[in-house]
Structure 1
Amino acid sequence: MSSPLNFEDWFALNQLYARYASALDAADWDAWPEFFTDDCIYRLQPRENHERGFPLATLSFESKAMLRDRVYGIRETLYHDPYYQRHVVGTPLVREVAGGRIRCEANYAVFRTKLSQLTTVFNVGRTIDEVARMPDGSLRFASRLVVYDSEMIPNSIIYPI
């Protein structure tokens, strides 16, 4: 059975989304996995595949350890032109609250700025999230499905959305 969020939980949920975007915008890659539970799922998937029920995803990670491996890759093995990201995230829409979990989603837009170039829209879509309450009372993503709208994406996605 679903129950509404109280103000403290609503505020904590919004802070989770805001801190997540802030960490990515600041390129604080070590912080990124810490927004997730140990057995989390993080997937980046085109809208068409999601709507048609196709499992193919651009990125798919099934644990915090896999997220940490991605951080290592960002820092140590992936070569790319440097750029900045800026996330604009909508207020999460709570779909269900049950069993210590919050099922919610939010729209997002990510802007990219390469050095000496104009800022461009990099990626837009929505996240479909399951947020878990941890034993210490904090909230973390148990599952984050990033569904991007455009079939056209850059030839590589380096940083998390």
Structure 2
Amino acid sequence: MHPVTVFLLRTLGIVWTVPNTLFGLIAGVAGMPFGARARWSRAEFAIVFDRWPWGPGGAMTLGNCIINTHDGLDAQCMTYEHRAGHLEEPHVRLGDHERAHVYQYMLLGPLFLPLYLLLGGVSVRNPLERAADRYAHTGKGWWPWGHRRVAR
């Protein structure tokens, strides 16, 4: 794809998901007096708040913003299917998983959160989560529909 086309599509995606990104910025900034640190991640195409002080651990993406309880996004995590006992597979890099969600947000914009909840929320049943895990493993397939499942 032509670089100008890629730039325009990314810009449209950023604008389309601004409402979600604003929620992420509010949450991230709220954690800063308690130790959260903000930074831009070119790799994840997002503003990342590392060391976010609340929650069970892990990360959450809101638009082009990632709220992360770890020191960075290089932490390794289990996939949803592995955690649910459906299959055994290697851990994935947390940042790769969250980058898939950034791309999903940029395509779905304000529709992402209602669709995410409708599809099962934070669970192995959610095709958005399974696609993010697939992307973290392979670097491909962040969109959950229109692909063929590859046997591992």
Does 1 or 2 have the higher relative contact order (CA < 8 Å, sep 6+)? Answer: 1
TM-score over 0.5 for the alignment?
no
Decide which structure has greater helix share: 2
TM-score (norm 2): 0.30
